[in-house]
Structure 1
């Protein structure tokens, strides 16, 4: 199995397990460092049927609830905080602009962004979300090929976002090329992905985390180097790759002490504060070992 990014056949097996399928191997290219799974069997039906948020997801994610409805409700509350931080990061770039969110899910980001932008559109294949987009007057496309700029009456989008989507794609280079064709000449593409070099994997080498974080829908995992290389392979200018720490120090300490997620809910009230979080994020960023990467691409 050749590396998707550099075609090298040299690879090693990473420590850890894929949480929902122990038979899948986690591989790392010896030449460019791309991390990938040796099985890529997830198809569009998985996403259309919202299988990402089924009972198995919460079981494997170690989220125990009385019923699926309660589990999804808590997940959405947690996700809304993440969306707020994304909006804060993007706000200066999107005010008064035409934006497209690729893999827009339940329109969480677009709903929060809508008051600030000229137009908001999403590309999402999940079947049950149509009502959400109608109720919030947000354009919904089921396929990237359905985005007809002439029909919309714009020359292209000012900003295209993709939050935790690219790691799911079997052909991310091809998709990034398609997305760039929907950008204005001076438009920006903002891509957020998990970091393959998360400190819990590469510095602390936490066994419990290495058997939790890998998931079969995450086909590729990127480091700062490989995310930059991905953008370049798609023919884009890489303006920056920024290391961001989504989860606070309490989460890291809880993993190290108990081997379980969501430490911020148990210890966050007496450990976490903005000064400590900023210092922790800056330290991890200097090592390229935050939990999240955000890249900004543009046309060449």
Structure 2
């Protein structure tokens, strides 16, 4: 392997952990070529070096949603993603938004903002997609394409910033967090969620899980607690912590073992609510969940 340095911690001890096709958009779409996935042996972050796309152009166009979900329409976005709002409110709580200036970074058509707009003093949608910007403006939300644009008007003024499933898409995570820091007021808080490497699923399924779901051309990074905490420190946050959340239930894991493909949250009659809760809580308690949320304070 040629000389390489970790972009997150500058460590030079890098391992190639995967060499094969990875997901390229939606389920069942793969790269034409094998892709190397690398992992830093110091901070644990995982990444690939595919940088063929102009990311600004890609995410401002309809290409991203078309490749991922087969549609970029506003109504289809709500149909697909409205159900995630309850999960996001579980990550954030509700009291944090009351009478506050709130920004959602990478908000798409604004489904999460819709759920908190009645509580917040001001709602700011930051979203590069031209289609979704139109939807946000139609709702009367303050709308910006990028955090760097929002900083010009709201730098140092935002009370609470949320960002879900975004940081893994950006080429420079440190700059991403520095811009979050710049938007927040003193003692302002940010809640940033991202998928983990789902270690239990990888242990059970190995390269099947990695190819079919985990590793993706659109996800440049897979973060863990150590890499996120290091980034938060470098970005200048005075406080930082993480929480683990398990989104998918026991039925999902069993269906993976049966079908070797992602089937979402699958129900089996023998899986009781208690069994499912224990599955999720144990993975969260052991830091083995499929989702991690970084909480930071300026």
**TM beyond 0.5:** yes
Which residue number corresponds to residue 52 of structure 1? 64
Q: Give the whole-Å Cα distance in 1 for the aligned partners of 2:111 and 2:179.
A: 23
Mapped contact 1:252–1:263 kept (Cα < 8 A)? no
The residue that corresponds to 1:211 in the other structure is 211
Asked if the contact 2:77–2:109 (Cα under 8 Å) also holds between the matched residues in 1, the reply is no
**Other-structure match for 1:18:** 22
**3-state DSSP of counterpart to 2:295:** strand
**Does the CA-based 8 Å contact 1:253-1:263 persist in structure 2?**
no
Matched, 1:111 2:114: yes
> How far apart in 2 are the matches of 1:44 and 1:273?
45
The answer to whether the Cα contact below 8 Å between 1:99 and 1:160 also exists between their aligned partners in 2 is yes
Instruction: Measure, in 2, the Cα distance between the counterparts of 1:244 and 1:146.
Output: 31
> In the superposition, relative to structure 1, how do residues 11 and 234 fare at CA in structure 2: closer, same or farther (>3 Å)?
same
Structure 1 runs not aligned, ≥5 long: 59-67
1:289–1:75 Cα change, 3 Å: farther
Cα distance 1:270–1:289, how it changes in 2: closer, same or farther (>3 A)? same
In 2 relative to 1, CA 10–282 (structure 1 residues): closer, same or farther, beyond 3 Å? same
Spell out, residue by residue over 1:123-170, the C-alpha distance to the aligned partner (whole angstroms, 9 max, x if none).
111111233112211111122222256x56x95111011111001111
How many residue pairs align between the two structures? 284
3-state SS of the aligned residue for 2:217?
coil
SS at match of 2:140: coil
Cα deviations by residue, 1:211-266 (Å, 9 ceiling, x for unpaired): 122111211110122111221121213432111011111111111111111242xx
The alignment yields a C-alpha RMSD, in angstroms, of 2.4
SS at match of 1:13: strand
Deviation at 1:40, TM superposition (A): 2.6
Cα gap change, 1:236 to 1:47, in 2 (>3 Å) = same
TM-score w.r.t. the length of structure 1 is: 0.86
Cα displacement (A) at 1:47: 0.6
Q: Is the 8 A contact 1:159 1:187 kept in 2?
A: yes
**Secondary structure in 1 matching 2:229:** helix
Q: How does 1:1-300 map to 2 (within 5 A)?
A: 1-15=4-18, 17-20=21-24, 21=31, 22-42=33-53, 43-54=55-66, 56-58=67-69, 68-69=70-71, 76-90=78-92, 91-148=94-151, 151=153, 156-201=157-202, 203-212=203-212, 213-264=214-265, 267-268=266-267, 270=269, 274-299=273-298
Q: Does the CA contact (< 8 Å) of 2:188 and 2:297 recur in 1?
A: yes
Separation (CA, whole Å) in 2 of partners of 1:173 and 1:219: 13
Closer, same or farther in 2 for the Cα pair 1:220/1:69, shift >3 Å? closer
Deviations 1:51-102 (A, max 9, x none): 2221x434xxxxxxxxx45999666434211122212432121122110111
Q: Is the 8 A contact 1:18 1:26 kept in 2?
A: no
Residue 9 (structure 1) shift: 2.2
For structure 2, list consecutive stretches of 5 or more residues without a partner in the other structure: 25-30
